[in-house]
Structure 1
Amino acid sequence: MLTETESWSPGDVGSTRYVQDALAIDFDLWSDDQLFGERPTRRDDLPDPRVWAGHIAQGLVEVMAGARPAPQVLRWTTPEVYAAVARRAAVSARRGALPTRRTIVRGVRVCEPADGVAEASAVVVDGGRVRALAFRLVGLDGRWRVEALQVG
């Protein structure tokens, strides 16, 4: 411990100086996509696709009907799917008619053709009409994301 009359200076440590060397890293082995891009996720690390497909299907049809803002599904869709859903929402908004009844997802079927991939279909009741929704889910960064969407 230093007393009031003593002071410390960096030269007191000793005569050896520390020199930092550079690490030998070959950055050519890694592309930016490998370091910072999206990472595929194994099926074991993802939630149940059937339950999740039902929730996202409900959200997607509500956005397309104009009952929910489009940005709410942005995180769960690819840019192409989001653009299609937002476009349908804009058409619903131009029509000016808010849905009188809530659009309801009645049933969901899911198959998993590969690890981290699920293909789902949903039966949707929209007022007096029954419609079909088909979409492909891909596990990326620990969550399911809608990669393709077809509305019938």
Structure 2
Amino acid sequence: MTIKPVLVRPVPDTEPPLISAEEAYRPPPPQPYAQAALALDFTVDPEDDSARRPTLRSQLPDPRPFVAKIAQAIIEVIAAQRPAPQLIRHTSPAIYSGLARRAVVAARRQPTGPRRPAVVRRVRVCEPADGIVEACAVVVAHGRVRAIALRLEGLDGRWLVTQLSVG
């Protein structure tokens, strides 16, 4: 049996080197100014679903039938006769959350028994700009006559409700 010799190595110094007080408070040498360019692309990615793209009026369907249908749907959601998620595709997030809250409140105090469906009596449409529609509708629902004012914007090839007022 042979014994191998033991190899002895010194322990490396792990402490950082000491800096004198003069070196510690000396300002760094001036660097030449260079403006670096950021790699930003401001074009809209067609695969990006989060970016909404405005649509021209010529590329959108006639707003009058849409206003009549969405007004009836809004009244039915407020009366808890229609589920609110049916409107999520046609409303902005702020409008949808307000409608969903009103639907929850209406569901708590909904009377029992059959109710007559809402009927849209009249629709008025005004187009103040290309791809923008301001409309109002008169709706008869459950023995009440109500007015709905809404603003539609053409986004992503369809109408989207961005402002809503129910009287």
> Shorter-chain-normalised TM-score: which range?
0.7 to 0.9
> Quick one: which amino acid aligns to residue 53 of structure 2?
R
Which of 49, 58, 61 pairs up with 1:44? Answer: 58
Q: Which residue of 2 aligns with 1:28?
A: 40
Q: Which residue of 2 aligns with 1:3?
A: none
Contiguous gaps of at least 5 residues in structure 1: 1-25
3-state SS of the aligned residue for 2:100?
helix
Show CA shifts across 1:74-122 (max 9, x none).
Answer: 0000011001111111111010325611111111100000000000100
1:80 equivalenced with 2:65 (yes/no) = no
- Which structure is higher in helix share? 1
CA distance in 2, matches of 1:148, 1:119: 9
Which of 116, 121, 144 pairs up with 1:129? Answer: 144
Kept after mapping to 1: 8 A contact 2:80/2:110:
no
Which TM-score applies when normalising by structure 1?
0.77
CA distance in 2, matches of 1:27, 1:112: 39
1:57 equivalenced with 2:71 (yes/no) = yes
TM-superposed CA distance for 1:27, in Å, is 4.5
3-state SS of the aligned residue for 2:55?
coil
3-state SS of the aligned residue for 2:95?
helix
Q: Which residue of 1 aligns with 2:32?
A: none
4+ residue segments displaced more than 6 Å: none
CA distance in 2, matches of 1:27, 1:49: 41
CA distance in 1, matches of 2:71, 2:110: 23
3-state SS of the aligned residue for 2:133?
strand
Q: Which residue of 2 aligns with 1:143?
A: 158
> Quick one: which amino acid aligns to residue 142 of structure 1?
G
Q: Which residue of 2 aligns with 1:17?
A: none
CA distance in 2, matches of 1:107, 1:27: 52
Q: Which residue of 2 aligns with 1:71?
A: 85
TM-superposed CA distance for 1:29, in Å, is 3.9
The higher radius of gyration belongs to 2
Q: Structure 1 vs Structure 2: percent identity of aligned residues?
A: 55
3-state SS of the aligned residue for 1:47?
coil
Which of 126, 129, 138 pairs up with 1:114? Answer: 129
User: Could you tell which deviates more after superposition, 98-107 or 134-143?
Assistant: 98-107
